[in-house]
Structure 1
Amino acid sequence: MRTLSLIVPCYNEEESINIFYNAVAKVFASINEKTERYQPEYLFVNDGSNDKTLPILKDLQKQHPKTVHYLSFSRNFGKESALACGLDAATGDLVAVMDVDLQDPPELLPKMIDLIENEGYDCVGTIQKERRGQGKLRAFLSARFYNVIDAVSQVRIEPNARDYRLMTREMVDTITSLPEYNRFSKGIFAWVGYKTTYLKYESQPRAAGKSHWSFMQLVNYAIDGIVDFSDAPLKIATWIGGLSCAVAILGFIFVIVRALTVGHAVAGWASIVSIILFLGGIQLFSLGILGEYIGKIYLETKHRPKYIVKEKK
């Protein structure tokens, strides 16, 4: 029998864990109904939770010692680190990434397995048809983020693609071989290539609890994605700086010509101050973009681990 590893990041998800396990167990029962095809390997990654997530995972592991495993971080490292940890630890012939809140419907797993086994795909991802339960502003900005990253990145990231996907062992080994500290999984999944298809599904409500992603966290996540997979912001800063310099030269020529022809100084200190502030803002903006890239380089060169596992079973 082959093994299918399920990587499940958890951060303060005490209400969802058992609900998730029971739902996925039913799916595996249907998969193995006629013949035993896949043995599940549950890899719950506790990302520094401060509720009862870890004790619940320990109890679940004691009940199912052969199939349930957990890895608990020494602190909160973030979902990207939890995904990296799960991929490093997974031993399955196929590897799935899922959210514990059941917004990723496990009922899609049989179809995903079929596409890999019978259609020759290396990866089957998922796309939400629409984002229910989100505010209009957040949904609008999310859609614009995918427009921007597709325009500036060398790889295409499907709009509204979820982390929920099923991958072959070969693809997972390729992903885990990438050494970078700064990780944007959606971009990495696309960058490594491999034959990929997507299943669309209606968005699902959370099984329990509430989302831990704040608006600013999502904004920072979007910035990280753009910076990690494109140098376009650096080029934009260069072009803005060059354009500002050209406009300044034209303005300087205009002042000289007017002084020679009209014979008096140009009035308007308020406009001059506004221009100075505008140019200063452009400089700071460009320095901010440069700082993002330097900060990424700084973190990469320190060679710190992406996560620290304090306890596992």
Structure 2
Amino acid sequence: MKTMSLIVPCYNEEPTVPIFFEAVEKVFNDNPIIFKDIHHEYLFINDGSSDATLTEFRKLHELHPDTVHYVSFSRNFGKEAGLAAGLQHATGDYVAVMDVDLQDPPELLPEMLKKLEDGNYDCVGTMREDRKGEPFIRSLFSKSFYALINKISKVQIIPNARDYRLMTRQMVDAILELPEYNRFSKGIFNWVGFRTTYLKFENAPRAAGETHWSFWQLFNYSIEAIVDFSDVPLKIATFIGGLFAFLSIIGIIIVIVRKILFGNSVGGWASLVTIMLFIGGIQLSCLGIIGNYIGKIYLETKHRPQYIIQEKK
């Protein structure tokens, strides 16, 4: 009998955990033929929650010790650390990544399993048909992000794709060979390759609670993705630096020629200050881009663990 591991990262999701468990169990109970040779297990990741999320995990583990397992961090390490921990501790022949808020419909699991067992795919991902229900600004920036990263990165990121996916053991093992500290899972899933297909579904509201992702957090996450999967910003910084160096040489030549032909002349200090401030701003922007990459290198060279486990069952 094969095993399907369901990785469920959680942060302050106390009200949604029991709802999620019941919803997923219903899917397995309603499809006995499809899952007759599949033993499923849950691997909940507690990412330093400050509410009673861990208590909910303990309750479920006591009721279902062979099915429900959990890993609890010593503090909040972030979504990517939670996904990494889940992949590293999952033992199933098939491994699924799901959000606990039920915005990832568990009703798709039977079809996802069918496609994998047919042998034509190594991964079945999911993507939303639209972003209905989201604020306009967030949707606009999301579309802009996908358009930008797919132009500057060799790894193509599917717009509106979710982390929700079902993968074979072979693909999971390939992902685990990537030990980097700075991670962007959507990019990593595509970078390792393997045959992947996507199922579409309509956007759904959370089952309970509120989202923990603010606009600023999503913006920072998009910057992380660009830095992790593209060096184009560095090339742009180099191009801008070279362009302004060339323009400054031309400016020097003009000043010298003007001095020789016309002698001293009174120039406008306002235009001079404006140019200096403009060039200074460009330099600082380029230094910021370079510093971002250097910061990533610094974090990688420390070789710190992605997370610290305080409790595990």
Matched, 1:273 2:261: no
Residue 302 of structure 1: aligned partner: 302
Residue 66 of structure 1: aligned partner: 66
Residue 190 of structure 1: aligned partner: 190
Q: 1-side partners of 2:27 and 2:293: how far apart?
A: 44
Instruction: Please tell me the residue identity of whatever aligns with 2:47.
Output: D
Residue 134 of structure 2: aligned partner: 134
Instruction: Please tell me the residue identity of whatever aligns with 1:67.
Output: T
Residue 169 of structure 1: aligned partner: 169
Give ranges in structure 2 of 5+ residues lacking alignment. none
RMSD between superposed Cα atoms in Å:
1.3
User: Across the two proteins, how many residue pairs are aligned to each other?
Assistant: 313
Residue 121 of structure 1: aligned partner: 121
After TM superposition, the score normalised by the length of structure 2 is 0.97
Deviations 1:18-40 (A, max 9, x none): 11001100111123247612111
Q: 2-side partners of 1:35 and 1:200: how far apart?
A: 22
Give the 3 Å change call, closer, same or farther, for CA 25–179 of structure 1 in structure 2. same
Moved more, 229-238 or 114-123: 114-123
Q: Measure how far apart 1:8 and its partner are.
A: 0.2
Residue 94 of structure 2: aligned partner: 94
Matched, 1:199 2:199: yes
Q: Measure how far apart 1:257 and its partner are.
A: 3.3
Instruction: Please tell me the residue identity of whatever aligns with 2:74.
Output: S
Deviations 1:71-123 (A, max 9, x none): 00000000100000000000111000000000000111111111111151001
Secondary structure of 1:294's match? helix
Secondary structure of 1:134's match? coil
Matched, 1:228 2:251: no
Give ranges in structure 1 of 5+ residues lacking alignment. none
Deviations 1:150-204 (A, max 9, x none): 1111111101111001100000011112111111100100000000111111111
Q: 1-side partners of 2:258 and 2:134: how far apart?
A: 56
Matched, 1:17 2:17: yes
Instruction: Please tell me the residue identity of whatever aligns with 1:286.
Output: C
Percent sequence identity over matched residues?
63
Residue 241 of structure 1: aligned partner: 241
Moved beyond 6 Å, runs of 4+: none
Q: 1-side partners of 2:31 and 2:197: how far apart?
A: 21
Secondary structure of 1:91's match? coil
Q: Measure how far apart 1:130 and its partner are.
A: 1.1
Determine if contact 1:116/1:122 at 8 Å carries over to the other structure: yes
Q: Measure how far apart 1:218 and its partner are.
A: 0.7
Q: Measure how far apart 1:254 and its partner are.
A: 2.7
Q: 2-side partners of 1:116 and 1:86: how far apart?
A: 20
Secondary structure of 1:139's match? helix
Determine if contact 1:127/1:161 at 8 Å carries over to the other structure: yes
Moved more, 2-11 or 130-139: 130-139
Q: 2-side partners of 1:112 and 1:185: how far apart?
A: 19
Q: 2-side partners of 1:35 and 1:96: how far apart?
A: 14
After TM superposition, the score normalised by the length of structure 1 is 0.97
Determine if contact 1:255/1:266 at 8 Å carries over to the other structure: no
Q: Measure how far apart 1:138 and its partner are.
A: 1.1
Determine if contact 2:187/2:229 at 8 Å carries over to the other structure: yes
Q: 1-side partners of 2:78 and 2:87: how far apart?
A: 15
Q: 1-side partners of 2:9 and 2:265: how far apart?
A: 66
Q: 2-side partners of 1:62 and 1:35: how far apart?
A: 24
Deviations 1:200-250 (A, max 9, x none): 111110000011011111111001101111111111100010111112222
